[in-house]
Structure 1
């Protein structure tokens, strides 16, 4: 979209009474506020509305419509496609709205639309509580939850959307709406995986669970041990209790004390085992994985909120991600997964991930528009690298892994794990029948498709 000029008088009108900050090109803070997690994204919005409350959000949406500006919504800014910013439009920046208020009696937390996982985890953890959150602390709660919400605790507590009690949002005409099981129930259903298509979410209320202890193990092998380790991990997870989470991954051996020098900077195979309980118990549960001859080991009790920060990727890297959800993981699929790891950009923070589902994920509400919950496994090439010369190689690796896994695919996909991969993948992310139902909800709440910078579902009235 071509850059637009917005008159000084118009901006002055927006700023009048605006509780947050309105940022324009040329302002000292402009470049910092337009940057997102994926360093491949370089877009220049005409206006950045740093909102402090829901009324700011409503005013920003109305301003954008009055002046013909495309609307982008920014929470954490982690979406790999970079749709949290645009060229020549208006960005509704929610980062100031990051309060996290816990009601320990009802075991709920109310979160501002710009809160991150770190805000959620620290607030809940202070009361010995937690809920499923993203796998790094800097991910925004908003886009993550609206897309379904997959994380380390999902086998124990379900997807984040399974724990959603209420959402407050601003619609495309700048009006506040509260969605819950009893208010706007069809919209509330749509917010369990339908993404940011229906409005700007200004607050979320999530259900919390007791988590008095948390522990983990990170085991490291040379990459050539990968096929044996993956097969053992597959068999281990088939019988593992719901308290066990984590994943199997290939990564660059980090320069950490627990990693042997000969594996530092090399492609390695690692197994992350999380446990919703103390390490003393976890050791017994994960004993089959501890007997596989790993060369590096880190085992620890750790508050969940601190653990969530361990895998935070530093900003400034170029990013490309994709995913495939698997109906089964036979030996040929294991071999294909391991072989493709050799195409990763190494050294880099990239991760070649195999994630288990099952447990509370599979038992969750079948009605929600998250058809990928029934797959027992997901492969997730998560590419991060520095040199633009590696762009083609990183994309080829990610797409190649998807191609390799397609014979065992369930056909569904978690949209938060992918960028712009076309309309068919959006349908696969929510399910064909759900897609038609979501399009009708979209027609009711955003008939002009104002909120289209997302995995977009075009408005279409329900068939009579």
Structure 2
């Protein structure tokens, strides 16, 4: 019987014996890695249908990876087939520069480099290494979202490989149901191999930088800002060598903002004096997307992520979250790299889109927090010192008990934020798909859009080929 390596495709098929196999398994979190039977790296869209046909006829699970940044195993498969879109990463601007066409394996850094050369901005995720496909299908929130809304709200059209092997173009006019579903429904309706997004003129260099305060300055109060051209990223961290609770504030101020950077940042300097006050400019989105490279390089790779949406920076949410984070990182020394990252912004244009206009349901005014659980085990300390002498299986050594502790803390603090916000506001905002782990109720993730999504799942993926990710059960009634 022939195997998948005999398929006539332009791309590569990797098995555990292939030299590049281990590299192909790499993910942003070591906890996201599973050993696939095959990793297929297409060179053309037409490579994908025969791979799907082979996998489904042999009962093999199918997973798709672009950036591989989610901390779950959604882009991996144990014993199945992983379709790695990394070779399909071309980015091109239209002749009038108003639309950018992005292949499904591109990362946002690829997009921003092309846009920067032509002084165009593209609404997308804030970090260069995040895959376009995974983030866009879940919303894609970033610096420009207040003014231009989410990435999905700027999607003009897309090309999708369906579960039955058909390759279709979808837009508001062509396959409109599919177009609605992929804008917030996640990876449940096909492999999007090409996106077409609106672009906008770049107003000029943005103001950015870092203000750092000792954790003793934390008073539980945050103040939302008015302008859609301003955003603060507030990080609670324990940087070495002292590992004391610390507040890191990273501003982003568009060159198009009405107020000056001095006016915007002055309150942050009056209320408390930062121990570090380094404000600079970033010429383009590419530079901004690389702002956290140094901290990412040092961060432990045993990463789990959850998060939450909330309507206001309620004092009880801030104080309660602070106390829980401080206690967890004090009680678990190896978890001191765990952080909370608060997005302080005016949601602006996000709220101008109706909750049923796309599959993305959270359109009420809100901000969000990303909760990162990072663990450094004793085995990892040894690996850092002796990695050159250890085989790959040792480098990927894990301690499940620490993962369970971190997972339980992540869930508890995410639940606390959601429940406290519901109590304060009278409305449950649910769970943001990019920060879901898969154990939440689907109603919490997709809200009132879930019934329609289930109907469309039955239409476009009746056999549930796309079973990885936050799975939507088909409704055949």
- Tell me whether the two structures share a fold, i.e. TM-score over 0.5: yes
Which residue of the partner structure matches residue 50 of structure 2? 59
Which residue of the partner structure matches residue 298 of structure 1? 278
> In structure 2, what is the Cα distance between the partners aligned to 1:37 and 1:117?
15
Aligned partners of 1:155 and 1:361 also within 8 Å: yes
Aligned partners of 1:45 and 1:87 also within 8 Å: yes
Q: Any idea what SS the aligned residue of 2:455 has? A: helix
Structure 1 stretches lacking a partner, 5+ long: 1-6, 255-262
Which residue of the partner structure matches residue 393 of structure 2? none
Does residue 172 (structure 1) correspond to residue 156 (structure 2)? The answer is no
Question: After the TM superposition, which of the residue ranges 292-301 and 376-385 deviates more from structure 2?
Answer: 376-385
> In structure 1, what is the Cα distance between the partners aligned to 2:38 and 2:300?
23
> In structure 1, what is the Cα distance between the partners aligned to 2:403 and 2:143?
29
Which residue of the partner structure matches residue 354 of structure 1? 342
Does residue 376 (structure 1) correspond to residue 366 (structure 2)? The answer is yes
Compared CA separation, residues 60 and 443, structure 1 to 2 (3 A) = same
The CA deviation at 1:322 is 1.1
Aligned partners of 1:79 and 1:416 also within 8 Å: yes
The CA deviation at 1:349 is 4.5
Which residue of the partner structure matches residue 263 of structure 2? 284
The CA deviation at 1:13 is 2.4
Per the normalisation by structure 2, the TM-score is 0.86
> In structure 2, what is the Cα distance between the partners aligned to 1:264 and 1:218?
19
Aligned partners of 1:218 and 1:297 also within 8 Å: yes
> In structure 2, what is the Cα distance between the partners aligned to 1:223 and 1:398?
21
Per the normalisation by structure 1, the TM-score is 0.88
Aligned partners of 2:229 and 2:256 also within 8 Å: no
> In structure 1, what is the Cα distance between the partners aligned to 2:149 and 2:169?
23
The CA deviation at 1:104 is 5.6
Aligned partners of 1:104 and 1:127 also within 8 Å: no
> In structure 2, what is the Cα distance between the partners aligned to 1:368 and 1:163?
11
Compared CA separation, residues 218 and 104, structure 1 to 2 (3 A) = farther
Q: Any idea what SS the aligned residue of 1:355 has? A: strand
Aligned partners of 2:158 and 2:196 also within 8 Å: yes
Counting matched residue pairs gives: 436
Alignment of 1:304-383 (within 5 A): 304-312=285-293, 313-314=296-297, 317-342=301-326, 343-344=328-329, 349-357=337-345, 358-366=347-355, 367-383=357-373
Alignment of 1:199-348 (within 5 A): 199-211=190-202, 212-227=204-219, 230-231=220-221, 234-235=222-223, 237=224, 239-253=225-239, 265-277=243-255, 281-292=260-271, 293-302=273-282, 303-312=284-293, 313-314=296-297, 317-342=301-326, 343-344=328-329
Structure 2 stretches lacking a partner, 5+ long: 378-398, 423-427
> In structure 2, what is the Cα distance between the partners aligned to 1:104 and 1:382?
41
> In structure 2, what is the Cα distance between the partners aligned to 1:450 and 1:55?
18
> In structure 1, what is the Cα distance between the partners aligned to 2:124 and 2:13?
30
> In structure 2, what is the Cα distance between the partners aligned to 1:413 and 1:373?
12
> In structure 1, what is the Cα distance between the partners aligned to 2:430 and 2:5?
47
Aligned partners of 1:420 and 1:455 also within 8 Å: yes
Deviations 1:302-357 (A, max 9, x none): 12211211224238601111112213332222211222220236675432122235
Aligned partners of 1:356 and 1:376 also within 8 Å: no
